[in-house]
């Protein structure tokens, strides 16, 4: 396995969760005979799980399917079939597609990453995934939210086939500094500001990226090559909190008062 880095826009960012997912897939691939071949990678939204999945897909030649909100079993199977490059008849039933997908997985032995796996926990979708694993013996990694392992307890035949569970980790300062090379490219972000970004982002990689983009925009607007706490000032960070509701009526009264004053002054 190559070095644990993720290439984005020609920049390099060795992020912890990329390394964690790479290590998880490698562990399942190299497991001893007789051990289960499913695993789960879980954590809160915004912690970089999907980005790690995209890199892992490229690193291992894995299949990567993101479960969509309205999917049912046939759509899930079609998604995997598309990743395998299978040509399906429009009239193919879910059972037909299942057989083709199971054969394709068996033939290629490519790991299957299923993103947004929380959406499998309805109807029979999660049992379809277990069936594909049993039929092909390919490594299957479920990627989902923090409570995915708890949700899977309802499905003992799936839960019992997990080799291991790996939790995504929140962002750390090294992640911020590396992401700055992508989202604030060409701008030197001073370390105290990077620390503030980490705290202000509540250690979410997604929000870190958004805040670094704001820093770059500030630098471009003011013609800065280096941005620290002084330059950032008291600007707020994207922290996931909803904006405070505005007092529309008070704003309108203030506008009317200002208009009246301008009229009096002439």
- First-to-last alpha carbon distance for the chain, in angstroms, is 76
Q: Read off the pTM.
A: 0.81
Q: Is the pLDDT of residue 212 over 70?
A: yes
Q: Could you tell me the residue range of the domain that residue 15 belongs to?
A: 6-167
Mode of pairing for the β-strands spanning 140-144 and 38-42: parallel
- Higher confidence at residue 264 or residue 158? 158
Q: Is 162 in the same domain as 137?
A: yes
Whether 155 and 127 have beta carbons less than 8 Å apart is answered as yes
Residue 266 has what pLDDT? Answer: 63
Length of the chain: 266
Note whether 132 and 14 are same-domain residues: yes
| Mean pLDDT to the nearest integer, 55-61 | 91
Residues 6+ apart with CB under 8 A from 264: none
Q: Within a domain: residue 25?
A: yes
In angstroms, what CA-CA distances link 26 with 19, 29, 78, 147, 235?
Answer: 10, 5, 26, 24, 43
Same domain, yes or no, for 133 and 40? Answer: yes
We report the CATH number of the domain holding residue 37 as: 3.40.50.300
Please tell me the distance from the alpha carbon of residue 152 to that of residue 40, in angstroms, as a whole number. 10
Shared-domain flag, residues 248 and 157: no
Q: At what angle do helices 125-136 and 73-84 cross, to 10 degrees?
A: 40
Per-residue pLDDT band for 14 (boundaries 50, 70, 90) equals low
Q: What is the pLDDT of residues 65-99, one digit of tens each?
A: 999 999 999 999 999 999 999 998 888 999 999 99
Residue 136 in any domain: the answer is yes
Q: pLDDT for 126-139, tens place per residue?
A: 999 999 999 999 99
| pLDDT above 80 for 205 | yes
In a domain, 1, yes or no: no
**Strand runs labelled E in 36-105:** 38-42, 63-66
């Amino acid at each position: 396995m190559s070095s644990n880095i993720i290439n984005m826009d020609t920049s390099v960012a060795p992020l912890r969760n990329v390394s964690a997912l790479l290590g998880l897939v490698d562990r399942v691939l190299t497991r001893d005979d007789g051990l289960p071949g499913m695993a789960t990678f879980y954590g809160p939204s915004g912690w970089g799980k999907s980005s790690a999945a995209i890199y892992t897909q490229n690193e291992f030649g894995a299949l990567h399917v993101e479960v969509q909100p309205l999917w049912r079993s046939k759509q899930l199977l079609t998604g995997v079939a598309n990743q395998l490059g299978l040509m399906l008849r429009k009239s193919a039933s879910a059972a037909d597609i299942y057989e083709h997908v199971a054969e394709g997985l068996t033939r290629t032995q490519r790991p299957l990453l299923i993103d947004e796996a929380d959406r499998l926990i309805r109807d029979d979708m999660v049992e379809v995934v277990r069936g594909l694993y049993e039929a092909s013996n390919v490594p299957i990694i479920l990627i989902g939210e923090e409570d995915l392992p708890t949700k899977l307890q309802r499905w003992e035949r799936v839960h019992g086939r997990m080799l291991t569970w790996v939790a995504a980790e929140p962002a750390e300062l090294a992640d911020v500094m590396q992401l700055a090379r992508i989202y604030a490219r060409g701008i030197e972000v001073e370390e105290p500001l990077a620390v503030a970004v980490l705290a202000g982002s509540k250690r979410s990689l997604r929000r870190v990226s958004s805040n670094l983009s704001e820093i770059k925009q500030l630098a471009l607007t003011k013609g800065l090559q280096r941005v620290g706490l002084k330059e950032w000032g008291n600007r707020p960070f994207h922290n996931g909190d909803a904006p405070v509701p505005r007092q529309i009526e008070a704003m309108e009264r203030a506008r009317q008062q200002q208009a009246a004053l301008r009229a009096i002054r002439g």
